[in-house]
Structure 1
Amino acid sequence: MAVAPQYQQPAAGASSSPHLRVLHTALVPPSPSSGPAPPESSLPLTFFDIFWLHSPPVERLFFYRLAPDADVAAILSNLRDSLSQAVRTFYPLAGHLRLTPATTNRYELYYRPGDGVTFTVAEYDDDADNLSTDDPREFARVAPLVPRLPEGGAVLALQATLLAASRGLALGVTVHHAACDGAGSTHFLHTLAAACTGAQAPPPPPVIDRTLIPDPRGLYDVFFQAVPSTDEMQFVKMSADQLIATFTLSKDGVQRVKDAVVAEAARRGIAPPRCSSLVATLGFVWSCYQRAKASSGSGEGSACLLFPVDHRSRMKPPLPDKYLGNCVGPALGIASRGELAEAGAGGLLTACTAVAKGIDEAVSGIGTPSMDALIDRIKEVAAMGTLSVAGSPRFRVYDLDLGFGRPVKVDIVSIARTGAVAMAESRSSAGGMEMGISLKPDGMDSFRKCFADAIAWLDACTF
């Protein structure tokens, strides 16, 4: 049985990195203002959850600007109090993952009164504008701004870092994926933001009931036996000089991708794929990525795009929209590297067709025998070169106002560990999409050129 970790406030000036000064760390329990603490409880992991048992945690980073006259002490106090309120509603996230007593392969999310979420306050010497730029930045510069999960199975930690050089604040949020998916973790963050601003109509509470996901096929045992290791979840190995950068496809650019796909399909005399804005964006970034890889000599064989599909509305019966847990399944887009890397409409048609087909197969495979071999299939395609996807524009991360304005930039910095592309709605282009990419310097230079060339081609096209 895991023992809950004990937390002590570091001495003033304590440092956990050369540039980061930890001011204090506290364990924030569910708020007592609404009554007694939530009761001791355990939530068994479902087959959707167990897939993520060994995955690297998801690390999000929100950058905010502070007014010159901002009361920083009041901001931090309000953030901590609001965290306590949000944790009360999402109390399982204050617990920890453990092996269920008297079992050998059953895991659960266990909460008991006295548990809480680690909240760290720190200062960092780097400049907020430099840290929050879209341009390539060293991962090592932003990594100290997201907290590590405490030992003992903790699933959630937050860190508020003051960026003294330009009166900025960075909120780092680290979540263990086995506890909940992106819809659940961002639901928690929107609840936190509502508490910070005193919203009159906060988001609805989460639905905390894992019995809503039946398992008649015994997929938990199947998945547990084949669950990927941490190394297998990191499709691209991180280097010491890893960079992260953000690229934006405008609303007009998304539409131009759709138009290019339809026009190319018509030219070939074939039916175009169903090309939603998400399909168009994923196809565009995947094609650019493969063209950049091809420029370094990686142009033969097949490639895979691995991306999540939310199954809440597709379960039988459907799950509530605010179900707290994992209910995403992997979709696999597979295509020839050479065809994906083709410049212009050819690469876009290949990529978007593969993405649309991957969605259709993922949706139709729910509850069928094909799910039995799902993890083996993922391991198989990983060997061919996989680009995975994190995040979603549906999560509305740029709406997270904590009482001092919307974030100026949001990153999923854990993509440096997993090699994923991070998706979000564009903060600068209504209807557009943001894509976070992490590559080594040479790879980043190649990708930037391929992306810029593809945008220029789209802008020059007339459909």
Structure 2
Amino acid sequence: MPEWAQSLKPKTAAAVLPTVLQRRLATCLPPSPFAHLLDRRSQNTYGHRQASTLAVDMAMAATTPDHPAGATSASPPPRLRVHDTTLVQPSPSPPETSLPLTFFDIIWLHSPPVERLFLYRLAPDADVSAILSNLKASLHQAVRAFYPLAGRIRLTPGTSDRYELHYTPGDAVAFTVAECDDDADIDGLAADEPREVTKLATLVPPLPEGGHGLLALQATVLSERRGLAIGVTVHHAACDGSGSTHFLHTWAAACVGAEERPAPPVIDRSLLGDTRGMYDIFIQAAPSTDEMEFVKMSDDQLFATFTLSTDDLRRVKGVVADEAARRGAAPPPRCSSLVATLGFAWSCYQRAKEGGRVVVSGSGEEKPRTCLLFPVDHRSRMKPPLPDKYFGNCVGPAFGVAPKVELAEGGAGGVFTACAAVSSAIDEAVREIGTPSMDTWLDRIREVSAMGLLSVAGSPRFRVYEMDFGFGRPAKVDIVSVARTGAVAVAESRSGTGGMEVGVSLQPAGMETFRKCFADGIAWLHQRS
């Protein structure tokens, strides 16, 4: 046992967690946004595995139809040695509390957890023991501010379909300290190039078995103590990405002893009214656990990051503006950096589904359509508006729909079609708030799933690359859970210069096809001016 591990003094050991960690790679499918609401009858367009309620046709799940996955053999995942599992309680402990799930929360009741992985480089002289001790000590403060995350989801006593987050003094968050063998090198794990998902998944903890836990954390010392991985697993019914990253920013600020701390969360579900009875609509429309199926991730699954620089995004916006003028589109699509990122990635994805071929759109016949499904935060749009730091879920789906053949067009055509559809979807999502259209969200998700769709996780607003615990900014941040759904993950660029990152998980052949489509698209952007 290394010296830094010997200095750890476990408090309350959760004996089940080390066992769970060893089985981590065979667990079920974490979600991309709204993936768990899809109809089990939908078919994965790549046809290589059975579709499921939780993940069907959400992205290039493994291969393209014309390019079956190669026979690449995956190396075994790094060996994980668990040194300490501590149950961190809020200190001081709040009184027993129950928070009822809202109609935004209940959508995610049966959803598997969302997993994020933060990778950090450590200085050669870093005191690993002190770093781990500081992480654990400061976690008490963060858990105190976000005490519902130490609790569980339960059926509200005396009801048959009302659920709540229930916290009782003594509840705690599991914090595991582990070490990986020499295969877990920080340089390889933090690269943009394709990495084996099994190596990343080992570094993310499961939620405790035998209950409805809400949060689990794991700090893993990497090879030669040159890096540290912090894995975060959150139950989506407890909070959305805004809430979970708010918790992490609070933890990081406490760890460095910052004088200026993030504002505390607003823990009050009564702020979100439900005059339309949407909870009842959603609880009846949501699939039960018996209706769900899960697809096991393939052993050779890869994860890679593709970056759009500030200059790339400027060029995408220019393409959209020029093409809108050429087509006489009035008004032209509003093309923010997020719209440009989603549109460019979606067009590349659809072209990759066509085997990387540049498609020329015809006319005169009905064109099959597809959908980009992505979340929109509605805190500021509720009536009355919710506080920015409201703790819970307040995201709804946006449906970008476009003809497949037009998305896959080369040049300006595919990019314009995708960005215009994304921009229109945002406008529609904003207009729907407070109207009967919200009642049909789950039905519409099932409807577009039949088209084949791609979903999106993450947001540049979460500022994940500002998560500094006292040993520097992250070298890499990934949403590991998208590896099992094929969704794309978006975040701000780690360079801090205004670019965007897109995380994609595919089998080797599909990854190579997407990589080529993305690179060709970037090259075309720079050749046209």
Q: TM-score, normalised by structure 1?
A: 0.94
Q: 1:239-268 CA distances to partner (integer Å, 9 max, x unpaired)? A: 232111100000111111010011011112
Q: 1:216-235 CA distances to partner (integer Å, 9 max, x unpaired)? A: 11110110111146799999
RMSD: 2.3
2:149 to 80, 93, 99: 93
1:409 to 476, 497, 500: 476
1:16 match: 22
Equivalent-residue separation in structure 2 for 1:130 and 1:197 (angstroms): 27
1:244 to 283, 293, 303: 303
- Answer yes or no: is the 8 Å Cα contact 1:161–1:171 preserved in 2: yes
Equivalent-residue separation in structure 2 for 1:234 and 1:455 (angstroms): 38
Change (3 A) 1:157 1:112: same
| Structure number with higher relative contact order (C-alpha < 8 Å, ≥ 6 residues apart) | 2
- Whether 2:363 is the aligned partner of 1:293: answer no
How big is the shift at 1:296? 7.0
Equivalent-residue separation in structure 2 for 1:229 and 1:12 (angstroms): 29
2:191 match: 133
- Whether 2:145 is the aligned partner of 1:83: answer no
Equivalent-residue separation in structure 2 for 1:448 and 1:273 (angstroms): 27
Equivalent-residue separation in structure 1 for 2:18 and 2:116 (angstroms): 26
- Answer yes or no: is the 8 Å Cα contact 2:21–2:206 preserved in 1: no
Mapping for residues 24-423 of structure 1, pairs under 5 Å: 24-32=84-92, 37-125=93-181, 126-151=184-209, 152-165=211-224, 167-228=226-287, 238-271=297-330, 272-295=332-355, 301-423=368-490
- Give the partner amino acid of 2:434: G
SS in 1 for 2:262: coil
How big is the shift at 1:10? 8.2
How big is the shift at 1:238? 3.4
Aligned residues with identical type, % of pairs: 70
- Answer yes or no: is the 8 Å Cα contact 1:61–1:412 preserved in 2: yes
Change (3 A) 1:25 1:361: same
Equivalent-residue separation in structure 1 for 2:525 and 2:100 (angstroms): 49
- Answer yes or no: is the 8 Å Cα contact 1:10–1:25 preserved in 2: no
Change (3 A) 1:451 1:429: farther
- Whether 2:523 is the aligned partner of 1:456: answer yes
SS in 2 for 1:145: coil
- Answer yes or no: is the 8 Å Cα contact 1:313–1:319 preserved in 2: yes
Change (3 A) 1:10 1:154: closer
1:439 to 506, 511, 529: 506
Equivalent-residue separation in structure 1 for 2:459 and 2:398 (angstroms): 14
Equivalent-residue separation in structure 2 for 1:385 and 1:142 (angstroms): 27
- Give the partner amino acid of 2:335: C
Change (3 A) 1:228 1:15: closer
How many pairs are equivalent?
Answer: 453
Unaligned runs of 5+ in 1: 1-5
1:3 match: none
Question: Which range is displaced more, 181-190 or 272-281?
Answer: 272-281
Q: TM-score, normalised by structure 2?
A: 0.82
How big is the shift at 1:339? 0.3
- Answer yes or no: is the 8 Å Cα contact 1:28–1:117 preserved in 2: yes
How big is the shift at 1:164? 2.4
Unaligned runs of 5+ in 2: 1-11, 24-77, 360-366
Q: 1:302-356 CA distances to partner (integer Å, 9 max, x unpaired)? A: 1110111110000111100000000011100000110001111100110011101
Equivalent-residue separation in structure 1 for 2:301 and 2:291 (angstroms): 19
Equivalent-residue separation in structure 2 for 1:239 and 1:11 (angstroms): 24
SS in 2 for 1:252: helix
Runs of 4 or more, structure 1, over 2 Å off, are: 6-18, 228-240, 296-300
- Answer yes or no: is the 8 Å Cα contact 1:55–1:230 preserved in 2: no
